[in-house]
Structure 1
Amino acid sequence: MFSDGRPVLDRIRFLIRAFDKKLTLVILASILLLTTSLPLAAGPQATEADKQKTIRRVAKYWIQVGAVQYKRGLYESAEQSLLSAQKYQKYLSADEREKL
């Protein structure tokens, strides 16, 4: 026994419980850190692919708008729409570029 009257086993149990709480906290903090940092590593690649897909959709939209305008006889507007699509032609497939 120690001078305060508590047995040694009580002190050991207290230290083990304190260590368990700290260890649990460290493990949870590590998991949190890993889960927040892993998506950041893959993020730029995913966003670049999404960006290219979005740009391709914009180009296809301008092609469709230009085609509708051309059919309606709005030739100057159709030309402007197709010129807008032409800015994004590197994101189009070969068939889509040919259509443009």
Structure 2
Amino acid sequence: MKILNSTPGYINKMYSNKTAKNIKTQKNDDLDANKNIDRINFSDRTKNLQKMSKAMETDPADRKKYVSDIKQKFETNQYTINADAIAEKMAGSILNEVG
């Protein structure tokens, strides 16, 4: 088979056109692939639990003062317990759990 001088130019031209189309298609495929990224959506309850967990990891400075104040009141018999308020909160929490 004899290849003419004009044929390599034609082959190169066809090859370069296909390569350019493939590159464009590959770029579009990459963009489409980025749109289909796997995602995880957490429920509001899970988000709240994560916030609570983070809050529990850090010990606020006010908490130590609060506890020491209660200890001091308890030791000096100044700390009073309101039994009615505690009973109402307990009954309310039980009713919330039951529905």
> Quick check: which one's helix share is greater?
1
Instruction: Please give the TM-score of this superposition, normalised by the length of structure 2.
Output: 0.43
Which structure ranks higher in relative contact order (CA pairs < 8 Å, sequence separation ≥ 6)? 1
Q: Which has the larger radius of gyration?
A: 2
